[in-house]
Amino acid sequence: MKVYLIGSLRNPDIPKLAHHLRDKLDFETEVFDDWYAAGPEADDKWMEYEKARCNTFAQALDGYAATHVYEFDKTHLDSCDVAIMVMPAGKSAHLELGYCAGRGKRTIILMNGEPERFDVMYKFADHVVTSWADLLNVL
What CATH number has the domain bearing residue 108?
A: 3.40.50.450
Residue 27 — very low, low, confident or very high, per pLDDT cuts 50/70/90? confident
pLDDT per position as a tens digit, 75-123: 999 999 999 999 999 999 999 999 999 999 999 999 999 999 999 999 9
In 3-state terms, what secondary structure has residue 1?
coil
Structural domain boundaries enclosing 118: 2-138
Burial zone of 138 (CB within 10 Å; 0-12 exposed, 13-18 middle, 19+ buried): middle
Rounded Cα–Cα distance for residues 108 and 89 (Å): 13
Residue 48 — φ and ψ, nearest 5°? Answer: -60, -45
pLDDT per position as a tens digit, 48-71: 999 999 999 999 999 999 999 999
Listed in sequence order, the residues at least 6 apart from 9 whose beta carbon sits closer than 8 Å to its beta carbon are 35, 36, 38, 39, 40, 41, 42, 43
pLDDT of residue 70: 97
Question: For residues 89 and 7, is the Cβ–Cβ distance under 8 A?
Answer: yes
Count of residues in the chain: 139
- Residue 113 DSSP symbol: S
pLDDT of residue 93: 98
pLDDT per position as a tens digit, 34-46: 999 999 999 999 9
In 3-state terms, what secondary structure has residue 107?
strand
Domains of the chain: total: 1
